[in-house]
Structure 1
Amino acid sequence: MSDEIDVGALAPMFGVRGSEPEYLEYDIRGRGLFERMFFNCGASFLVGMTIGGAVGVWEGSRPGTFRVKTNAMMNGFGKRGSAVGNGFGAVAMLYTLSENLLENFKLDQWTPVAAGVTTGVLYKSMAGPRAIALAGLIGGVLSGALHLSPISPR
């Protein structure tokens, strides 16, 4: 019975046009808001967890017996890693939402920089005007540098 079914004749009905799979193309701009947010938050959390964990391990490696030192290093990794990872993930979420909102204004190459400034301003919005301005400047410079770097997916 299955010998009689021609899969090639059914392919156009399911939207398959060529012989190559379409899912191999990767275009970050073609992704939706939530796909970009999950990617950015996950990657940022991983980087933050690694950096914070390394700081926690370094803080926990003070002199002591092997057992005490191991326990202090594991506690430091869990405490610092999760805190820094959560902070990085929150900043990535703010950045992705800001970037998505600012794409509607057609700023072209300035969209990532404006999103970085907006992220910094929102992140420190309750800290006073000097901290807000400094955070906005740092966010704009960092996102502009990342946007111009060769590792940028844009």
Structure 2
Amino acid sequence: QLQQTGSHIGCETSHCGACTVDFNGESVKSCTLFAVQAQGAEVLTVEGLASNGELHPLQQAFMDEHGLQCGFCTPGMLMRSFRFLQENPNPTEAEIREGISGNLCRCTGYQNIIKSIQKAAAVINESSHDEAKSA
């Protein structure tokens, strides 16, 4: 009804992560939820990442660093990465790998996904630093 088609149904068993959304401030695989659980909850999907017509730094980084191929895992990967960077704004490569380990990608080998997350983290941190300086 809302025509929000970004979240994908992958496995319906919570193994792939394609359906990951941000649910009340946590990464959740939406296939594990009943619709009634979402009533009154704050749910953010990939469609909500962009702001004022501009891509979120994660979305831009995934484009710039070729962090996607077929695109099936991308919405879930973006949403997990979004929450992960909220929790760990300056992650190491090993921490990124651990942070996205519940999201599977059949195409990329993860290298460009990791580069994308690293780039987004740098952009977000730089933006936060610039905002703090001007305040």
Q: TM-score range by the shorter chain?
A: 0.3 to 0.5
Greater gyration radius: 1
TM-score, normalised by the number of residues in structure 1: 0.30
The structure in which a higher percent of residues are strand is 2
TM-score, normalised by the number of residues in structure 2: 0.33
Which gives a bigger RCO, structure 1 or 2 (Cα 8 Å, sep 6+)? 2
The structure in which a higher percent of residues are helix is 1
